[in-house]
Amino acid sequence: MGFVHHQTSPSQIGIRTVDVDNTCNFSTTSNLCISIFTWNMNGQVSFEDLAEMVGSNRDFDLLAVGLQEAPGNKIATMLSAALNESHTLIGKVTMQSLQLYLFGPKNAKSFIQELHVDKESFGGCGGIIGRKKGAVAIRINYKGIRLLFISCHLSAHGRNVQERNYECRHVSRSLFSKIWNPYSRPAHMTIWLGDLNYRLEGINAHPARNLIDQDLHHKLHGNDQLLQQAGEGQIFNGFCEGTLTFKPTYKYNKGSSDYDTSYKVRVPAWTDRILFKIEEDTDNVEATLHSYESMDEIYGSDHKPVKAHICLRLQT
C-alpha cells in the first residue's frame, strides 16, 4: 500500500519520511499527476541529458523542472523538444543560472485560473555566475488545485548549516510577500525542490563511501543534515519526503558515476531533494508519492538529477 497524505498534523515537527507506491493509475483514480525533476547542471547542458532526464513516459498532467547552475537561455526550447511536443510550457521563472519551468498538456490554458512567479536572491554569486544562490517560484491554480513550486540553490559547504536554515526560513517568508494578499488562501500543496546543499554530518568520505559501496547507504540517514535540522524543528515542519533509497547525489566526477577523486575527496551527500506539504487546512486533497529516485545514468554534471512523481486526488 502506498503512502496517502491527507494533511499535516499541526504538531508535526520536521520531515515525515514516506513510502512510495510504485503504481500510478494516471487519469483514472487521480485528479492531477505531477512529475518533478531537480538537477544541478554544473554549467553543462546537452539535449541528450535533458531527453534522458524527462524520459518517454508522459503519464503526468504537469511537469516541473528546477535547475541550478544551468547555462544559457535555450533550455526551455530543449526541454520542449525532449518532450516531443506532448506538453507545452505554461510557466517559467529564471534568475541567471537558477531556473524553474512548468509544462502542461496542450489544453492546459483552459485549466489555469491563475499563475504568478517570484524570485528571491541571496546576494552575490561567489565570483562564479554559474553558482547563483536563491529561490525561484511558480504559484498556479490548476483545475481548482492551488500549487506552489519553489526551486532553490542554498549555500554550500558542510559548515554552513545555520546559513541554509536561515535561507529556508527567509524564502518561506519572502516569496510572493510583495505581490500576494496575505489573507488570500494558501496553496493546497507546496513542492520544494532544488540543491538544498545539506551535507552529511559526523562522517568522513571513506567510511561513507564504504557504506555506499556495500549498498548500506540507508545507514547514513542519521548523518543527513537536512533530516537532523528538520527533526530539531528548524526547517520544513510539516513537509514530507520519500525514503532516501538512492545513493547520495553529490559529488561525482563529471562523465562518470564515481565519487569525487580530486584532492578534496568530498564526502558524498544528498544535496538534491524534493519535498512536499499539504497545508493544514486542506482536508479534501490526498497526495500519493509514486516515485522518488536519482538518475544515476546521467553523467553530464557532478550532481545526479532527482525525480519524483506525485498524484493528487480530490475528496468529494
Per-residue pLDDT reduced to its tens digit, 201-228: 999 999 999 999 999 999 999 999 999 9
The pLDDT of residue 9: 52
Domains identified in the chain, total number: 1
The pLDDT of residue 283: 72
186 falls in which pLDDT band (50, 70, 90)? Answer: confident
> Looking at residue 219, what DSSP letter applies?
G
For residue 182, pLDDT over 60 is answered with no
Cell reading at 242: 520519500
Torsion of CA 220, 263, 198, 178, to 10 degrees: -170
Cell reading at 241: 519526503
Question: How many Å apart are CA 158 and CA 231, to the nearest integer?
Answer: 18
Could you tell me if 196 and 226 are in contact, meaning their C-beta atoms sit under 8 angstroms apart?
A: yes
Secondary element (H or E) of residue 80: helix 75-82
Which tens digit of pLDDT belongs to each residue from 80-110? 999 998 999 999 999 999 999 999 999 999 9
**14-28, 63-77, 128-142 — most confident range:** 63-77
Closest alpha carbon to 271 in 215, 214, 194:
194
314 falls in which pLDDT band (50, 70, 90)? Answer: confident
20-29, 142-151, 176-185, 295-304: segment of lowest average pLDDT? 176-185
Closest alpha carbon to 277 in 3, 101, 16:
16
Helix (H, G, I), strand (E, B) or coil at 314: strand
For residue 8, pLDDT over 50 is answered with no
pTM of the model: 0.94
Please count the CA atoms within 13 angstroms of the CA of 314 that sit on its side-chain side. Answer: 10
Domain that holds residue 225: 4-314
The pLDDT of residue 130: 54
Strand pairing category for 62-68 and 32-40: parallel
Give every CB contact of residue 129 below 8 A, 6+ residues apart in sequence.
Answer: 96, 97
Could you tell me if 294 and 252 are in contact, meaning their C-beta atoms sit under 8 angstroms apart?
A: no
Share of the chain above pLDDT 90, in %: 78
- Average pLDDT on 253-260 reads 92
Rg (CA), the chain: 18
The per-residue pLDDT of the chain, averaged, comes to 90
> Looking at residue 61, what DSSP letter applies?
S
Secondary element (H or E) of residue 66: strand 62-68
The pLDDT of residue 121: 92
- Which CATH number belongs to the domain containing residue 50 in this structure? 3.60.10.10
- Average pLDDT on 18-34 reads 80
The pLDDT of residue 2: 44
